[in-house]
Amino acid sequence: MRKVAVLGIGQTKIAEHWEFSIRELAGEAVFRALEEASQPPIDGLFVGNMLSPLVEHQSSLGPLIADWIGLRHGEAVKVEAACASGAAAFRSALMAVASGQMEIAVAVGVEKMTDQHPRDVTFGLATAADADYELDQGVSFVGLNAMIMQRYLHTFGWQSSDLAAFSINAHQNALHNPYARLHMAITREDYERSHMVAAPIRLLDASPIGDGAAAVVLAPADRLPPGNRVLVTGSGAATDTIAVHSRRDPLFLQAAWRSARQAYQQAGRQPEDIDFFELHDAFSIMAALSLEAAGFAERGQGPRLALEGDIRPEGRIPICTRGGLKARGHPVGATGMYQIVEVVQQLRGECGPTQVPAARVGMAQNIGGSGATILTHILERD
């Protein structure tokens, strides 16, 4: 397999983009990435998206977006893995270039969520769960995460407000990210006052939806001189049962552990080598579980990293340095691509007040469903 480098990145602000269609949003991110990459000829396009058939009544995003960006006749497919669609599209592009099937591949994650009534979006998100055995019982996506959090607090003896430190860090970091959905610092008091969405999950545990797109251009590493390249050095993907109730242990993200282990092995890295970690804090409980499964905390001890400040940009293992899902926003099928783009920005030293000092090795982890599909990627400055 060939080494693969990032040639260019692009993203849109996450917002209620009522004036832009799904193809325009994806196009904007791709055009920005291609411009950075000096307009190379593209061999293929991989589109990460979850909800377009349900929310936009549009399937076949491959040719739809290929047409819009001028890639007529080129290979183009959509990759769907619920909220992990973005990283799944990235991994497909990575494998295409690494294997030699393509010279230049583009991965774009795009989601449009604000055109429909929120209840339809709630339903759409819940289709990531088991339709026969979870959704038909009336449980929402936030409800599944709430049951995981409830049991976690009970088992490990935390208060729900102990998880507030995850949200506070994310909101603080998003203040310096112009692409973020929310620019609003919050306090522990704000957290405790925020309304209960599905107990024990409060509004300030939950990430906001939004419209957005993020894109990356990949090419063989030898097209660039060593020195300031960003290489993709590790990639892992794994699954667990689609339903929370069928997991061997609902409080451990087995697919996160397994995909992280694959990525570590490929990159020749360990958790101690990771300078920062863009994890999937769709709900604050997921941040804790992700830190634990990826080897940064003992089981049940994830919240300690947040409470002691280890997750802040100057801390031992900074997370959500651009706001995370909580404050950057969570346009579901695009989120995994935002994480990759943000890792590249950190490795290039472009993050201003939330820049991680001497960032050389970054990791991203994207979670689909309530833990059913999880991808982990390691990128390094070389």
- Bridge partner list, 76: 45
Q: What is the dihedral of CA 241, 198, 337, 29, to 10 degrees?
A: 140
Is residue 134 within the footprint of another protein (CB under 8 A)?
yes
137 touches another protein (CB under 8 A): yes
Provide, rounded to whole angstroms, the least separation between the CB of residue 253 and another protein: 16
Contacts (Cβ under 8 Å, ≥6 apart) of 57: none
Interaction of residue 363 with another protein, rule CB under 8 A? no
Does position 151 bind another protein by CB under 8 A?
A: yes
147 or 204: CB nearest another protein: 147
Q: Which of residues 200 and 336 has its CB atom nearest to another protein in the complex? A: 200
Q: 68, 123, 156, 252: which one contacts another protein (CB under 8 A)?
A: 123
Q: Cα–Cα distance between 258 and 349 in angstroms, integer?
A: 30
Q: Does 318 bind another protein (CB under 8 A)?
A: no
Beta-bridge mates of residue 216: 9, 107
Q: How far apart are CA 196 and CA 206, in angstroms?
A: 10
Give whole-number Cα distances, 168 to 35, 150, 176, in Å: 35, 20, 14
Q: What is the CA radius of gyration of the chain?
A: 19
Marked catalytic residue, from 17, 171, 280, 330: 330
Angle between helices 61-68 and 22-36 in degrees, nearest 10: 60
- Binding map of another protein across residues 190-219, x = CB under 8 A, - = no contact: ------xxxxxx------------------
Size of the site for another protein (CB under 8 A): 37
Nearest Cα neighbor of 348 from 234, 233, 267, 228 is 228
50 contributes a contact to another protein by CB under 8 A: no
Cα separation of 244 and 253, whole Å?
10
Does 140 bind another protein (CB under 8 A)? Our answer is yes
57 is catalytic: no
Q: Is residue 36 part of the contact set for another protein (CB under 8 A)? A: no
* Contacting residue, 22, 69, 128, 147, with another protein by CB under 8 A: 147
Residue 206 near residue 343, CB atoms below 8 Å: no
Among 30, 163, 244, 359, binds another protein (CB under 8 A): 244
| Interacting span for another protein (CB under 8 A) from 18-26, 117-125, 256-264, 334-342 | 117-125
Closer residue to another protein in complex, CB, 198/347: 198
* Dist. CA 64–CA 58, nearest whole Å: 9
Q: Is 351 a catalytic residue?
A: no
Check binding of 133 to another protein (CB under 8 A).
yes
Respond yes or no on whether the N-terminal peptide bond of residue 313 is cis (omega within 30° of 0). no
Using CB under 8 A, pick the residue from 136, 189, 192, 222 that binds another protein: 136
Give whichever of 160 and 177 is closer to another protein, judged by the CB atom. Answer: 160
Cα angle 145, 151, 154 (rounded to 5 degrees) comes to 140
Position 146 contacts another protein (CB under 8 A): yes
Find the length of the chain: 382
Min separation Cβ 173 and another protein, Å: 27
CB 68 within 8 A of CB 42: no
Active site members: 83, 330
Binding interface with another protein (CB under 8 A): 118-120, 122-123, 126, 130, 132-140, 142-144, 146-148, 150-151, 154, 196-201, 241, 243-246, 250
